[in-house]
Amino acid sequence: MSRATVATIHLGALRRNLARVRELARGAKVMAVVKADGYGHGLERVARALSDADAFGVAAIGDGLRLRAAGISNRIVVLSGPDEPADLAEFRRLQLDAVIHHESQLVWLEADRDSRHLRVWLKLDTGMHRLGFALQRAPEIHARLRALANIDADIALMTHFAASDEFDNDLTARQIACFDATTVNLPGARSLVNSAGVLGWPAARGQWLRVGGLLYGLSVIAGKSGADLGFEPAMTLSAKLISINCIQRGERIGYAASYECPEDMPVGVAAIGYGDGYPRSAPSGTPVLVNGVRAAIAGRVSMDLITIDLRAVPNAKVGDHVVLWGRELPVEEIAACAGTISYDLTCGMTKRVLFVEGGA
């Protein structure tokens, strides 16, 4: 193996995280959201590990096709619905649920003459202002869908929270109230909460939870790690030291010579960079683990390499293990250093990273 940059996916952690969500769900069904290639953990791999989920949520028909080709028989919901009229036949062939959120999609359904039933979810905009019908149109749209002979009569009702991770923000409470008032006389299962909603808004759990980040052990709350919330990180990103050099005090390291050595010091080079998906924005001081000991990046992240201040690990040697994030080093901490969120990092792994499965 010429390049030992590895993302280890902990299948046991995925399963335990789902079990924890079920405890919090208190009888509600769980839609495991596996979009963005399972938040960067591998779509098929994640779906097999989470086979007990009541449904999978994906972003596009292509994801549904991949899951069906992998033998996944669970209910699959395409969260953005059809993109053009021709998609409807594929939804039926693959037995995918369609989220209907726009007038154009409704017009396609009304013009469709395929007799096979299609299961749909009606999405309402309660304040996110991204996808969804205006609330005042809910009774009309629901009636139009119910009038179609080829649409399953069991139409689920859903919305999306804009600030559910801010437990003191009353926007979510207002969204819940608007949704409840609008749909009170409409039949169908309800789906409001996402991962943050599971933790902060349990009264709104409805009949379906749509859970993404928590399943991967990723925090949805600022200043907290997934472990802080009772979930296990499902990815460990690691590399190896390929060089160690003794650099003199006052010498500078890396592109733009941005890091000046404060003393004579050992500096390691690890085979990982933004070409692998490690964030280029991670500054000097961003932590890594070398043989389980905290060290820090020194200098800019380059495409293939990072340089590491090894003063805390004086016995380090070429070939030693470097963890960029994982169980002992939360990805949320790295994301905070890089000015982004954990989802961005796990979704950003490139093709040259070797993915391996770990059972634990």
Q: Which pLDDT tens digit goes with each residue over 301-344?
A: 999 999 999 999 999 999 999 999 999 999 999 999 999 999 99
Q: Are residues 93 and 52 in the same domain?
A: yes
* Contact predicate 237/7, CB 8 Å: yes
Domain that holds residue 285: 235-358
Query: Catalytic residue at 255?
Result: yes
Q: Are residues 174 and 260 in the same domain?
A: no
Q: Are residues 181 and 281 in the same domain?
A: no
Q: Are residues 174 and 313 in the same domain?
A: no
| Boundary residue ending a domain (186, 218, 250) | 218
DSSP 137: G
Query: What is the C-alpha to C-alpha distance for residues 299 and 252, in angstroms, rounded to an integer?
Result: 8
| Boundary residue ending a domain (218, 248, 280) | 218
Q: Are residues 205 and 258 in the same domain?
A: no
CATH code: domain of residue 325: 2.40.37.10
Query: What is the C-alpha to C-alpha distance for residues 14 and 232, in angstroms, rounded to an integer?
Result: 8
Active-site entry in 35, 39, 123, 278: 35
Query: Catalytic residue at 39?
Result: no
Q: How many CA atoms lie within 13 A of 33 on its CB side?
A: 18
* Contact predicate 299/186, CB 8 Å: no
Q: Are residues 46 and 188 in the same domain?
A: yes
The mean pLDDT of 352-356, rounded to a whole number, is 96
Q: Is residue 155, in this structure, part of any structural domain at all?
A: yes
Q: What is the pTM of this model?
A: 0.95
Q: Is residue 240, in this structure, part of any structural domain at all?
A: yes
Q: Are residues 241 and 203 in the same domain?
A: no
Q: Are residues 159 and 272 in the same domain?
A: no
Token pair belonging to 36: 């963005």
Q: Is residue 103, in this structure, part of any structural domain at all?
A: yes
Residue 122 has pLDDT above 80, yes or no: yes
Q: Is residue 346, in this structure, part of any structural domain at all?
A: yes
Q: Are residues 260 and 299 in the same domain?
A: yes
Q: Say how many domains are in the chain.
A: 2
Q: Are residues 175 and 307 in the same domain?
A: no
Query: Which pLDDT tens digit goes with each residue over 147-193?
Result: 999 999 999 999 999 999 999 899 999 999 999 999 999 999 999 99
Query: Which pLDDT tens digit goes with each residue over 5-55?
Result: 999 999 999 999 999 999 999 999 999 999 999 999 999 999 999 999 999
Q: Are residues 103 and 165 in the same domain?
A: yes
Token pair belonging to 204: 């709104």
pLDDT band, residue 347 (cuts 50/70/90): very high
Active-site entry in 123, 240, 255, 343: 255
| Boundary residue ending a domain (155, 186, 218) | 218
Q: Collapsing DSSP states into helix, strand and coil, what is residue 39?
A: helix
